[in-house]
Structure 1
Amino acid sequence: QYVTSNFAKQVALIEAGKQKPILMVGNLEAKRDYTDVRDMVKAYWLAAEKGVPGEVYNIASGKAYKIQVIVDILKKLTKKDFEVKQDPKRLRPSDVQILLGDSTKFRKQTGWKPEIPFEKTMEDLLNYWREKIKE
């Protein structure tokens, strides 16, 4: 499970009283480039419409966030207080510190750009898990 969804699910479980108020995390210092799936679907559509067959394109937001930022956003989105605890099983010995995509070529070819702010993505993910856990 992706870190964004995993953390949001854990917070929703904490809110519902189904998990102790401890968010289990790995390396919070690593930086990752996140693109909302709704923006990605638009990008794929534009790739099919305006992309050059056989060309390779990177599709990315072009912004890298520390994983710690996910925790910070989720803390703002919940009224429940929780502890953050590093789980050694979630640490990768060969973890890449920064994964950042450059979609300049794709943007020039298609006019695409991500529109959904990362904070909105996290809010929607948390709300998704809140509803899912109620079921």
Structure 2
Amino acid sequence: MNVGRTDTARDFIDARDGVRAMMILLEKGRPGEPVNICTGRSYTIKETIDLLIKISGLDVTVNSDKSLYRATDEPVLIGDTSKLRALGFLPEFNFEQTLEAVYNNWLDRV
């Protein structure tokens, strides 16, 4: 599998948690105040790929292809959870549970 950079890190949130966070913001948030919907934890693309390989049980060779690198890629993006946590939000799903759900959903579709 050819991929771009694998050392970039992103703050992924499970869609189910994201919807729950939006509901909390609708009930308790202040109109017009920006709030990050995030986990406050980042995972590198390499960690993400490695977890998906583990979940799938497949034998995959991963090659980093520099032609797929983006010139303006931010190395690390992590959201600040302080405002969301102050409203009582905590994620229910960890990253591996999220990837398992995504993988199983994909299997159900093919």
The TM-score normalised by the length of structure 2 is 0.92
- Equivalent in 21, 34, 41 of residue 19 of structure 2: 41
Asked if 1:111 corresponds to 2:88, the answer is yes
CA offsets, 1:91-131, max 9 Å, x none?
101110000000201211x2001110100111111111111
Unmatched runs of 5 consecutive residues or more in structure 1:
1-22
Q: Deviating runs (4+, > 4 A) in structure 1?
A: none
The alignment yields a C-alpha RMSD, in angstroms, of 1.2
**Letter of the aligned partner of 1:63 in structure 2?**
R
- Equivalent in 35, 38, 49 of residue 71 of structure 1: 49
Unmatched runs of 5 consecutive residues or more in structure 2:
none
Identity %: 38
Aligned counterpart, 1:14: none
Aligned counterpart, 1:58: 36
The TM-score normalised by the length of structure 1 is 0.76
User: How many residue pairs are counted as aligned between the two chains?
Assistant: 110
